[in-house]
Amino acid sequence: MTLYPTLAPRTLDGNAEQELRLLDFKYAQPPALLPLYRRLRQHGLLYDERSRSWLCAHMSGLLSILSDGRFVSGRPAGSGTPPPTPGNVRGTHPAPGSTLRDRKASIARLLGRQLLVNDGTVHTRLQGIMNPVLRQMGHDMRASIEQRVEALLDAIESAGRWEVVQDLALPLVLGSMVQLLLGVKDLALDSLQQFNAWSQALASVTSGFFSLESMQYVLAMQETFHVLLAHKREAPSSDLLSVLVADPRWQDDDELVANAMMLLAAGSVTTTKALIQSLWLLLQDAHAWAHLRTELLACTDARAQVQLLKPLVEWLLCRVTPTRYVVRWATQDSTIEGKRIQAGQQVYLFLEGANDALVRQETPFDDAAPAAAHEQCPLLPGKPAPHVTFGSSRSPHYCPGAPLARLLLLHALQAVLLRFPSLQLAPVPVHPWGKNANLGALVALPVIHIPERGAYASSSTDQSIAS
C-alpha cells in the first residue's frame, strides 16, 4: 500500500531529469518561474512528495479547488499551528515573551486570527464586519487618490531621473492605505518607511517566511496597533479603524488588531507590487508607451480615458499577479481531475501560473501555444479573460480590496502616461527582487525622462474621473 499518490512522470529539463518541487517554485527568481509553471501545467495537479503538497498552476484545477467547500484556508487543527484562541479583554494583551519560540508562537496566534486563514462562521462574521465598510470607504478614496498622484508627480516631474518604488508606488499606495485606515493624510517619510517595513514583515510571516527581523517588526506593529486602537476608542474619527473599533461583533481586541494589521499589509504590499511591475512591463516597449499615450490623448474626456485604461489595468494585473499563490487544505478525501487528494493534505494554487496560461492563450494542458500571444496590444477592444489575480469570485476569500487596488492602479497609470511622454527604464546592472517568494517585487526601479515643455495634457486630468 502506498502512503502517497503516485508521482507524476519525471520530466526532461535540458539534459537533466528533474522533478518539479515546491521549493523550486518558492525559491526561483521571478523570470525563471514561468517555464516552471508551464511544465507544471502539463501535469495538471501534481503531488510533491518532499513537501507533501499538491501543486496546481492550471485554471480548471485552481477554480475547482477554490470553489470547493471541502478545501479550507485555515490549517486543520493538530497540524502544527495553534488554533485561534479567544484573546484578551479590551485594552489588555499579554507580552509576547522573550524567547524566540515564545515570539514565534505569539505571531502564529496573531496570524491565526486573520480573516484570510479562517473559515466557516468565524470567516463570515469577520467578512460581515470588514467588507462592507472597506468597500464603501475604498470607493470614497477616489478624489484623494487623484490628488495624491498629482502631488507626487508634481514633485518629480522636473527631475530627469526618479525612482518608481520610493517616489511613486510606496507613497501613493501605502500613503492611501494609512489614510484609509488611520485617517492620517500626510505621513512623514520615516513613518511611511516604518509602516512599509512592518507590512513587508507581516506579509512575509503570513507566507511562512520567518526571520528574526520580520518577527521583531511584526511584534512592534502589533504593539503599535494596540496603542492606536486605544486612541481611536478615546477619540474616534471617520477613519476605517475608528469605524471598526465601534463594531461590537469583534471577539476581542487581538482579533481586531490582527485584522487591521492584515488590511494594511495585504492592501499595500500587493498594490505597490502591481504598480511597480506594471510600469516595468509597459516601459520595456517604448512603442507601446507612445501608442498608449496617443490613444489616451485622443480621448474626449477623463471618463473616456478611464474606460480605455480599464482593460489595460486588467491585462497588467493578469500579467503581474502580485500574490503568486494561495494555499488550501483538504478537509476530506476527494478526487479532483482524477487525482486523489487526501484529508489533511495541502494544495498550492499558483495564481500566477494560471494567469500565465491566460496570457499565452493556452488551451488546458497545451504547452504549444504561440509564445507571442502575450505581445498582443493591451488596448485591443474586447472583454479581457477573467484572471485570478484577486482569487476566484466563487471562493469565500475573494479579495475585498480589488476595487481599491484597481482605482490606485488606474489613476497612477493614467497620470504617469499623460505626464511623461518619453519615460524610460534607467539602465541598471541587475534588477533586485524582494525576498518574499509569494509577494516579492522589484525593490528599486529607476526611470529617466527628458522634461518637455507643454507635454503634460493637463486638460485631460483636470476633470474628476468617474469609472
Q: Which of 175, 391, 421, 440 binds ligand HEM (CB under 6 A)?
A: 391
User: By CB under 6 A, is residue 266 in contact with ligand HEM?
Assistant: yes
* d(C-alpha 313, C-alpha 300), whole Å: 20
* 380 and 249 Cβ atoms separated by less than 8 Å: no
Name the minimum Å distance from CB 46 to ligand HEM.
Answer: 20
User: Which of 302-310, 371-379, 394-402, 442-450 is the region at the interface with ligand HEM (rule: CB under 6 A)?
Assistant: 394-402
Q: How far is the CB of 38 from ligand HEM (least distance, A)?
A: 21
Helix (H, G, I), strand (E, B) or coil at 257: helix
Applying CB under 6 A, among 20, 55, 182, 274 the residue interacting with ligand HEM is: 274
Q: How far apart are CB 342 and ligand HEM at their closest, in Å?
A: 21
Report the site for ligand HEM in 403-442 (rule: CB under 6 A). 404-405
Closest contact distance (angstroms) between CB of 66 and ligand HEM is 7
Residue 328 phi, psi (nearest 5): -130, 155
Grid-cell match 493624510, residue found: 185
User: Could you count the other beta carbons within 10 Å of the beta carbon of residue 374?
Assistant: 17
Strand partners of residue 162:
447
Phi-psi region of 323 (alpha: psi -120 to 50; beta: other; left: phi over 0): beta
Q: Which of 47, 250, 329, 390 binds ligand HEM (CB under 6 A)?
A: 390
- Closest CB to ligand HEM: residue number: 401
Chain positions 351 to 370 lying near ligand HEM, rule: CB under 6 A, are 351
* Pair 386, 417: CB distance under 8 Å: no
Strand 424-425's sheet: what is its strand order? 161-163, 446-448, 424-425
Query: Between the CA of residue 254 and those of 84, 107, 122, 190, what are the distances in Å?
Result: 10, 11, 14, 26
CB of 368 to ligand HEM, least distance (A): 29
Nearest distance in Å: CB 127, ligand HEM:
6
Asked if 279 touches ligand HEM (CB under 6 A), the answer is: no
Please give the Cα distance from 299 to 293 (Å, whole number).
10
Q: Give, as one character, the DSSP assignment of residue 186.
A: S
Among 270, 277, 355, 436, binds ligand HEM (CB under 6 A): 270
* Residue pointed to by grid coordinates 501608442: 291
CA-nearest of 211, 180, 175, 212 to 195 is: 175
- Spatial separation of the C-alpha atoms in residues 355 and 370, rounded to whole Å: 15
Site for ligand HEM in 310-349 (CB under 6 A): 322-323, 326
Residues 198-257 touching ligand HEM, rule: CB under 6 A, are none
Q: Of all helices (H) and strands (E), which one includes residue 346?
A: strand 346-350
CB nearer ligand HEM, residue 8 or residue 71: 71
Q: Which of 58, 93, 319, 397 binds ligand HEM (CB under 6 A)?
A: 397
Give Cβ neighbours of residue 290 (< 8 Å, ≥ 6 apart). 421
Q: What is the DSSP string of 388-405?
A: -BTB-TTSTT--TTHHHH
Q: Does 271 bind ligand HEM (CB under 6 A)?
A: yes
Give the shortest CB-323-to-ligand HEM separation in angstroms: 4
- Nearer of residues 44 and 400 to ligand HEM, judged by Cβ: 400
Smallest gap from Cβ 267 to ligand HEM, in A, equals: 3
CB of 16 to ligand HEM, least distance (A): 33
Considering only residues 112 to 141 of the shown chain, the ones binding ligand HEM according to CB under 6 A are 115-116, 127, 134
Specify the residue, 67 or 92, whose C-beta has the smaller distance to ligand HEM. Answer: 67
How many whole angstroms separate alpha carbon 319 and alpha carbon 288? 16
Asked whether position 267 contacts ligand HEM by CB under 6 A, the answer is yes
Which of 162/350 has CB closer to ligand HEM? 350
* Identity of the amino acid at 385: A
Q: Which of 219, 263, 418, 465 contacts ligand HEM by CB under 6 A?
A: 263
Residue by residue, DSSP assigns 39-55 as: HHHHHSSEEETTTTEEE
Nearest CB to ligand HEM, comparing residues 219 and 264:
264
- Residue 53 has φ and ψ, to the nearest 5°, of -130, 150
The amino acid that residue 417 corresponds to is L
Among the residue ranges 9-17, 191-199, 398-406, 451-459, the one whose residues contact ligand HEM (CB under 6 A): 398-406
Q: Which residues pair with 18 in a beta bridge?
A: 11
Point out which span in 1-9, 229-237, 270-278, 280-288 binds ligand HEM (CB under 6 A). 270-278
To the nearest 10 degrees (0 to 180), the angle between helices 351-359 and 30-43 is 80
Using CB under 6 A as the binding rule, the residues of this chain from 34 to 73 that contact ligand HEM are: 73
| Residues in contact with ligand HEM by the rule CB under 6 A | 73, 115-116, 127, 134, 263, 266-267, 270-271, 274, 322-323, 326, 351, 389-391, 395, 397, 399-401, 404-405
